[in-house]
Amino acid sequence: MKAPDFDYLRPANLADAIALLVQHDGDAMPLAGGQSLMPMMNFRVAAPGALVDLVDVAELRGVTVEDATLRIGAMTRYVDLMNDNDVCKAAPLIGMALPHVAHDAIRNRGTLGGSLALADAAAEMPAVMLVLDAAFEIAGPGGTRIIKADKFFLGHYETALAEDELITAIHIPVATPDHSFGFHELTQRHGDYALAGVAVSRTNSTYRCAFFGVADRALRVAELEAALSDGSDIADALHHLSAIDFADDTKANAATRQRLAGVALTRAIEGMQT
């Protein structure tokens, strides 16, 4: 299908972008890379009265590493992250996960901020952000605020972002040599949304694991992380997965998803890299 009609607006800076969102009072949507929003509009799941294209907003661009923090502008495209040695060194998990995000042609337009703001339950980046203990810089009519990733994702397509707010940047603590990372996902076709996937970090013996594609949002399981951190065998820790309220749909039922989550976790940990 084709998208319904809308006004196309292209603000030159952040203040104008926020002002347009405020002015449209919930009827405008920000357009980042459009790789999820365009399909949703073509399906007519989304029908905003106006699109606020963020392509010219310079404040949303740029990648810096400063004071042990990697700061990624929200409009940074996946392809630019993959090709950025500073990013892949400061946050190796991002480099491991990105080849699994859709395909070349999608990664040439899709942005990190766009994916996080959409918060698809099966997307890779929200889980990566949870594992990396990322924080999001958010701008709105009242100014800016910082919110941690673990307070941001509230459900499928549901976040702590208000309708007139934008993610401006993502802050990630720079990895140190005692960090190692793992990533694995199971899909029907390479690049498709995962039936189950997991991102893992280990610091000394402490594990953080965030699953995606399994429930209504990317999530960590405290009991599972505690068992792994205490030195439990992976196989013995897997029963803690039952704490997840697994999605049950036409692609996979809940029991299958729980089984696949265990397989993904086992493979991710076995393949961990520093």
Partner 1 sequence: MSRTIDITLTVNGESVAATVPSRINLVDFLRNTLQLTGSHVGCEHGVCGACTLTVNGETVRGCLMLAVQADGADVQTVEGLADSGRSAALQAAFTRRNALQCGFCTPGMLASAIGYIDAGGAPDRKAIREHISGNYCRCTGYQSIVDAICDLIEEARA
Residues of the shown chain interacting with partner 1 in the complex, contacts defined by CB under 8 A: 1-8, 34-35, 38-39, 42-43, 51, 53, 55, 79, 102-106, 108-109, 189-191
The helix/strand/coil state of 93 is helix
Backbone angles phi and psi of 155, in degrees to 5: 170, -175
**How many Cβ atoms are within 10 Å of 116's Cβ, its own excluded?**
25
Taking the complex as a whole, how short is the minimal distance between the CB of residue 15 and partner 1, in angstroms?
A: 22
Q: How far is the CB of 244 from partner 1 (least distance, A)?
A: 27
Residue 242: partners with Cβ closer than 8 Å, 6 or more residues away: 258
Looking at residue 219, its amino acid is L
Residue 50 CB, shortest distance to partner 1, in Å, is: 9
For tokens 């990190």, name the residue. Answer: 112
Amino acid code (one letter) for 222 = A
For the bound state, the minimum distance from the C-beta of residue 104 to partner 1, rounded and expressed in Å, comes to 6
- Residue closest to 170 by CA, chosen among 130, 120, 200: 130
Q: How far is the CB of 14 from partner 1 (least distance, A)?
A: 19
For partner 1, the closer of residues 30 and 262 by Cβ is 30
Min. distance of Cβ 208 from partner 1 in angstroms?
28
Q: Which is nearer to partner 1, 173 or 191 (CB)?
A: 191
Q: How far apart are CA 213 and CA 127, in angstroms?
A: 10
For residues 230-267, b (16+ Cβ closer than 10 Å) or e, as one string? eeeebeebbebbeebebbeeebbeeeebbbbbbebbbb
76/201 with CB nearer partner 1: 76
